[in-house]
């Protein structure tokens, strides 16, 4: 799984993604919400 897949499509993290990012359709939408993206990454353990 790529970071793009996890941030936009992965059904295994849908609940967490919606909490932090809403329902982004594109990477630019994710990048427009840096605080949400960092919170999402932290929730997934990617910042440890």
Residue 1 has pLDDT above 90, yes or no: no
Q: pTM of the full predicted structure?
A: 0.87
Structure tokens at 35: 């605080």
Containing structural domain, residue 33: 3-44
Helix (H) or strand (E) holding 27: helix 27-31
45: number of Cβ within 10 Å: 7
What confidence category does residue 25 fall into, taking pLDDT thresholds of 50, 70 and 90?
very high
Quick one: CA dihedral 13, 2, 39, 24, positive or negative? negative
CB 9 within 8 A of CB 32: no
Q: Give how many domains the chain has, as a whole number.
A: 1
- Among 6, 5, 8, 18, residue whose Cα is nearest residue 45: 6
């Amino acid at each position: 799984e790529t970071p793009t897949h996890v941030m936009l499509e992965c059904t295994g993290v849908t609940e967490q993604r919606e909490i932090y990012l809403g329902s982004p359709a594109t990477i630019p939408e994710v990048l427009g919400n840096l605080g949400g993206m960092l919170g999402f990454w932290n929730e997934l353990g990617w910042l440890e």
